[in-house]
Amino acid sequence: MQAPSSTSATEPNGSAAVRLSRAMQWVTTGGIVLIVGLLGASFIFQSWTRNLLLTKLGDVGARLPLDAGNQALAAIIIAVPVAVLVWGLLNVRALFGDFARGRVFTAATATHLQRFGIAVAAQGALGPVTATALALVLSLGNPPDQRMLVLTFSSNDYISVIVGGVLIAVAAVMREATRLADENASFV
């Protein structure tokens, strides 16, 4: 005969899903802090700003003028997709918190997942818009024949839109499953 364990698989506090959810809450929190901190630092140090522009725009980023005013404009432009990203991560952090508390199929979890999906899909749309805005705004001070218009679209942008759409669809299914479960529970 086996001795009963202190935490069984049916107890939410000791389950692997709960442990994973709690760990992912910490990972998400750490990611939010790093994203905000490193982005802030990248606009304090001009060489970091230049590296960020190179990452977003390739060689075009190296040719853009970067003084204190342009550095501030770049920060404002890049703050938009970062704000959407942080909003999405805050929602996924709340989703993991609900999972850790044993709340899996609820309207709240579906809403958190839907919002995260919206943020992921928005990243795909904001990528090309951000690159275009950066090139336009930062080259406005150039002579008319040296202003730049950059149009970018990568497979990462496409994948973000698709993955975001999948998450939004799964959230809709979760919401419907929750509604049906609540409806069935009312008949019993």
DSSP state of 144: G
Domain borders along the chain are 15-187
Cα(31)–Cα(35) distance, integer angstroms: 6
Residue with tokens 């995260």: 116
Instruction: Give the global pTM.
Output: 0.80
Strand, coil or helix: what is 50? helix
pLDDT in tens, the chain (188 residues): 444 433 333 445 568 889 999 999 999 999 999 999 988 888 888 788 877 887 777 777 767 777 888 888 888 999 999 999 999 999 999 999 999 998 988 999 999 999 999 999 999 999 999 988 988 888 887 777 777 777 888 889 999 999 999 999 999 999 998 888 888 878 76
Of 128, 102, 122, 135, give the one whose Cα is nearest residue 167: 122
